[in-house]
Amino acid sequence: MAFSFLTQELAMDLGTANTIIIHNDKIVVDEPSIVAIDQNTGKPIAIGEMARQMHGKTHENIKTIRPLRDGVIADFNAAEQMMRGMIKLVSPKHRWFTPSLRIVVCIPSGSTEVEIRAVRDSSEHAGGRDIYMIYEPMAAALGIGIDVEAPEGSMVVDIGGGTTEIAVIALGGIVCNQSIRVAGDGFTTDIQQYMRHQHNIRIGERTAEDIKISAGSALSELDNPPAPFVVRGPNLMTSLPVEVAVTYQEIAHCLDKSLIKVEAAILAVLEQTPPELYSDIVQRGIYLTGGGALLRGLDRRLTEKINIPFHIAEDPLHAVARGTGIGLKNIGKFPFLMR
């Protein structure tokens, strides 16, 4: 391509919790999907980590928005501002021309036409000229090194921030899949509710997220358990400060209902799987990707429940982004990239 320097190619994992951008096979942006907007001017003040630090701490002139909910765009304007800001982080400011952008964005496999259009429109408004889409489970499979075009069946469970994507992949296509809106954000809400009901303490989204990362568990018995996490906050009745040490057993108990929904969805996909592919999956095991795969003991819990070995992908947080990057390099070759 003679004018390839005029085109900038980006792979974007537009996630509910984090947005990752890959350029030239390198992760150049890895920031929380959040934007802080000045209420008076409507212009963004901060994006990513800086905006996350403001989340839950703002006054009336500043509003922090998470533009994506359940894997889809909930606030069109904020999504566009955030994408524009993140794309700017990639492009050097001293360029005398603006290259045309080719972007591959990954989307949940259960996206409706309207939701797909919202992603495409936001990408175009943020400066994208040539836009392609790839489904998240397909991107996750590519990112962990599965040969998606082989005639063998592979099963991927991608537990992200807004959705859990479960898919059986063979011959370069998704054979059967399910996308449920129970994932990392749901776990965080469960923890907030548990602390309110069980300990009479009010905590914000960020604190609940910290509890999940530090003391989160899918099993009430672990071989090397994490230390209890100390939470400080106001008592619901008296508003006086209280301090509570939360153990991983408590978190395992409060996440149980959500994890049962994930198990049910995995079984539902296995029910729809053709027998030949089913035997491939039993032999090879099921791959876990996404931030939810880092929940302690999750692979063991699912293996015991479903009787098929579960493997956590290496670097599960970036698997989808890496796969989107592979899709970007093979735009002409992969038939599953949608325009």
pLDDT for the residue numbered 5 = 58
Q: Residue 35, SS3?
A: strand
pLDDT for the residue numbered 95 = 56
Q: Which residues pair with 159 in a beta bridge?
A: 164
Predicted confidence (pLDDT) at residue 306 exceeds the cutoff of 60: yes
pLDDT for the residue numbered 126 = 86
How many C-alpha atoms does 164 have within 13 Å on its Cβ side? 25
Kindly state the DSSP code that residue 217 receives in the 8-state scheme.
Answer: B
| CATH class of this structure's domain 184-250 | alpha beta
Predicted confidence (pLDDT) at residue 180 exceeds the cutoff of 90: yes
CA distance 191 to 197: 10
Q: Which residues pair with 241 in a beta bridge?
A: 234
Tens digit of pLDDT for each residue in 140-167? 999 999 999 999 999 999 999 999 999 9
Identify the burial level of 116 via C-beta atoms within 10 angstroms of its C-beta, where 0-12 means exposed, 13-18 middle and 19 or more buried. middle
Tens digit of pLDDT for each residue in 52-73? 999 888 899 999 999 998 888 9
User: Is residue 320 within 8 Å of residue 106, measured between CB atoms?
Assistant: yes
Give the strand pairing for 310-312 and 26-32.
Answer: unpaired
* Bigger pLDDT: 110 vs 177: 177
CA distance 318 to 309: 22
**Of how many residues is the chain composed?**
339
Q: Residue 28, SS3?
A: strand
Predicted confidence (pLDDT) at residue 94 exceeds the cutoff of 50: no
Name the residue ranges covered by the structural domains of the chain: 4-139+320-329, 149-182+255-314, 184-250
Domains 4-139+320-329 and 149-182+255-314 equal at CATH topology level = yes
What's the pTM? 0.91
Q: Residue 126, SS3?
A: coil
**Phi/psi of residue 115, nearest 5 degrees:** -65, -40
Question: Quick one: CA dihedral 168, 173, 178, 184, positive or negative?
Answer: positive
Reading the block at residue 99, the tokens are 């290259």
Average pLDDT over residues 73-86: 90
Does the 4-139+320-329 domain belong in CATH 1.10.510.10? no
pLDDT for the residue numbered 100 = 80
Q: How many helices (H) and strands (E) does the chain have?
A: 10, 17
Tens digit of pLDDT for each residue in 214-245? 999 999 999 999 999 999 999 999 999 999 99
Predicted confidence (pLDDT) at residue 170 exceeds the cutoff of 90: yes
Give the CATH number of domain 149-182+255-314; options: 3.60.20.30, 3.30.420.40, 3.30.70.141, 3.40.1350.10.
Answer: 3.30.420.40
